[in-house]
Amino acid sequence: MLLRLILPLLIFILPTGGIELIYTGVAPSDRFYTDHLGNIYFIDRHKIIKVEAEPYRILEYGSFAAGPVTSADVSNPLQIMLFYRDFNRVIFLDNKLSRLRAPVNLSDLGIEQAVLVCSSGRGGLWVFSDRDNRLIYFDDQLRLTHQSMILGSIAGSLGKPVFMTESQNQLYLHIPRKGILVFDRFASYLKTIPYSGPEQFQVMGGEIIYFSDGELHSLDIDSGEEEILELPDIKTNYAMLQPKHLFLLSGKKFVVYRIR
């Protein structure tokens, strides 16, 4: 249960205290990501803006030639991945938002039009393509090494995936009205988690974490039990949780708490 992982957070919400407000800043966008080190990343059309954890320096990377940023994967702070769907391109950045390598044109890898892309803890990347209708994994040398069965054979015609993320060598693929499909590191289908939350979510330990209707929820992957995690008493547009930090978007501000 996530309760074991975030007990300090729950203690904080109680009158005895347990988390500490450490930073408040102006949010350049309402699209943001966080990593386990406490860094925050905002996507503002063609730019990614990183607010480094203490002392909260600001870094920025932008490429108008690549079009607007469709999504980012910051699960590895040393290899940040930006996906540009309009140009079918991926760019990898280091922790200072400098390019790690030349932009990756997915068409050169045989992917005519990627819909979803996320990075892998093994250094490669996962791609879902409409044409192929399957998950495809490329290793850190951009060699195609694994691919799933056709998704229609698993999910039927219920819809198309809208989000995916990897955690602990498992790939989580969200198909609305179907749930979250789980695949192993070899792209083999494992199971489907019943889920009716928003498009995006986090995976922490054995829990799905998501923000909906002003509340932060945890869904136990194995049991299906769901809990609502209490938040500080401020207006909250969006919230994300990391092992040592809680991040809130409140109007035009973003607020960071340290979990003690």
Q: What dihedral angle (degrees, nearest 10) is formed by the CA atoms of 83, 121, 226, 188?
A: 90
Q: Which residues contact residue 233 at a Cβ distance below 8 angstroms, ignoring those fewer than 6 apart? A: none
First to last CA, the chain: 19
Q: Which residues contact residue 28 at a Cβ distance below 8 angstroms, ignoring those fewer than 6 apart? A: 42, 44, 49
* Calpha distance 126→226 (Å, rounded): 28
**pTM greater than 0.85 (yes/no):** yes
Per-residue pLDDT 10s for the chain (260 aa) are 333 333 333 333 323 357 899 999 999 999 999 999 999 999 999 999 999 998 889 999 998 777 899 999 999 999 999 999 999 999 999 999 999 999 999 999 999 999 999 999 999 999 999 889 999 999 999 999 999 999 988 877 767 899 999 999 999 999 998 999 999 999 999 999 999 999 999 999 899 999 999 999 999 999 999 999 989 999 999 999 999 999 999 999 999 999 98
